[in-house]
Amino acid sequence: MAEKTEKNLEEELEKFNTKFQLILDRAELDKTSRILKMDMKIPEFYEKNMEAFLEKFFSKNPFELRKEDLEDYTLDRKVLKRLRFDRRPASYLSLFRFIEMYRQGLNIIKQNISVLASIYKYKEPRDIFEEQQKEILLNELLSAGRVFKKLQSLNVSFYATFIKHLNDSYLESTKLLGEDGFINIKKLNGDTFLATTFYPYYDQMITNSIFLETLSIRLRQEREKWQARYPD
């Protein structure tokens, strides 16, 4: 029975993978179209395996965060950066890519934390100044670790909520249209709709996206600095 179940799962995933990849291929061929039909549920395996799904379908095409996508705003007399409203992910397709951007950014942060933790643990300071710098590094690592756990949990929670919404929406469409039911994953959704539908995760993902990028850059620079000190 177990072998049969495993075989059925493989067949289900193979069928889905083929159909979903064709959908993504159509999106690439016609980037101007605002209609892209997804006429199937996302399998339970992928509901529970975010890494496997995103790695397979979106690892080569994550959402991109560029300098021109940001704007200044003032909060408590401080000038901060935020993602422009017209550059926020609005379609379901762009949300897939946005979650993948988080996944890749978090993986980079995790790798840098691991390298820096190894330097802190195994490299002996050569003078008092370097000893002081290592204490600063420790505080940086502890802070980055806390942020990583928070953002990782946020991304996983948003993914789970997002996939459930897609599957529920598809099933609802089949009640109305039968076998012709589908979701248009390129339809542009309003910011209020997304914030309400994926509350509180969507707003938190948008707010923390710049912090994700900033932390990734800061840790990379810190890693390069310490690796220059200890090239071996």
pLDDT digits (tens, 9 = 90+) for 78-135: 888 889 999 999 999 999 999 999 999 999 999 999 999 999 999 999 899 999 999 9
Is pLDDT above 80 for 232?
Answer: no
- Find the DSSP H helices in the chain: 2-29, 44-48, 50-57, 92-122, 128-177, 191-197, 201-229
Closest CA to 102 of 207, 190, 222: 207
pTM over 0.85: yes
- Under 8 Å CB-to-CB from 64, ≥6 apart: which residues? 101
Examine the pLDDT at 9 and tell me if it is beyond 90.
Answer: no
pLDDT of residue 77: 82
Distances (CA, A) of 68 to 81, 142, 154: 11, 32, 25
Which percentage of the chain shows pLDDT scores above 90?
A: 86
Confidence tier at 1 by pLDDT (50, 70, 90): very low
pLDDT tens for each residue of 38-74: 999 999 999 999 999 999 999 999 999 998 999 998 8
Q: Is 124 helix (H, G, I), strand (E, B) or coil?
A: coil
Q: Quick check: helix, strand or coil at residue 18?
A: helix
**Structure confidence by residue, pLDDT tens digits, 70-88:** 999 888 888 888 899 999 9
In terms of Cα–Cα distance, which of 145, 27, 30 is closest to 94?
A: 27
Q: Which residue type is seen at 164?
A: K
Of 148, 92, 146, 140, which Cα lies nearest the Cα of 119? 140
